[in-house]
Structure 1
Amino acid sequence: MMTLDSHDKAILSALQKDSSISNLDLSKLIGLSPSACLARTKNLKELGVIKQFTTVIDEKKLGMETLAFILVNLSPLNRETATFFVEEINRLPQVLECYTVTGNHDYLLKIVAKDMQVYRDFVIDSLMAIPGVNRVETSIVMSTEKRTLSLPIEQ
Structure 2
Amino acid sequence: MAIRLDDIDKAILRELQEDASISNLNLSKKIGLSPSACLARTKNLVETGIIKKFATIVDEKKLGMEVTAFVLVNLTPLNRETIHSFLADIHKFPQVQECYTLTGSHDYLLKIVAADMESYRDFIIDSLMQNSAISRVETSMVMSTEKRTVFVPIDEV
TM bucket normalised to smaller: over 0.9
Number of the residue aligned with 2:54? 53
- List structure 1 runs of 4+ shifted beyond 6 angstroms: none
- Deviations along 1:58-92, one digit per CA (max 9) or x if unpaired, are 00010000000000000011111011101110011
Amino acid paired to 1:80: E
Which stretches in structure 1 are left out of the alignment for 5+ residues?
none
What's the secondary structure of 2:99's corresponding residue? Answer: strand
Number of the residue aligned with 2:111? 110
RMSD: 0.8
Number of the residue aligned with 2:38? 37
What's the secondary structure of 1:26's corresponding residue? Answer: helix
What number of residue pairs does the alignment pair up? 155
Q: What TM-score do you get using the length of structure 1 for normalisation?
A: 0.98
Number of the residue aligned with 1:19? 20
Which stretches in structure 2 are left out of the alignment for 5+ residues?
none
TM-superposed deviation, 1:144: 0.1
Number of the residue aligned with 1:68? 69
Amino acid paired to 1:45: V
Residue 95 in 1 paired to residue 96 in 2? yes
For 2:26 and 2:119, the matched residues in 1 are separated by 43
For 2:126 and 2:101, the matched residues in 1 are separated by 22
Amino acid paired to 1:154: D
For 1:32 and 1:54, the matched residues in 2 are separated by 24
Amino acid paired to 1:58: D
For 2:66 and 2:5, the matched residues in 1 are separated by 40
TM-superposed deviation, 1:131: 1.9
- Deviations along 1:84-138, one digit per CA (max 9) or x if unpaired, are 1011100111000000001110000000000000000000001110120011000
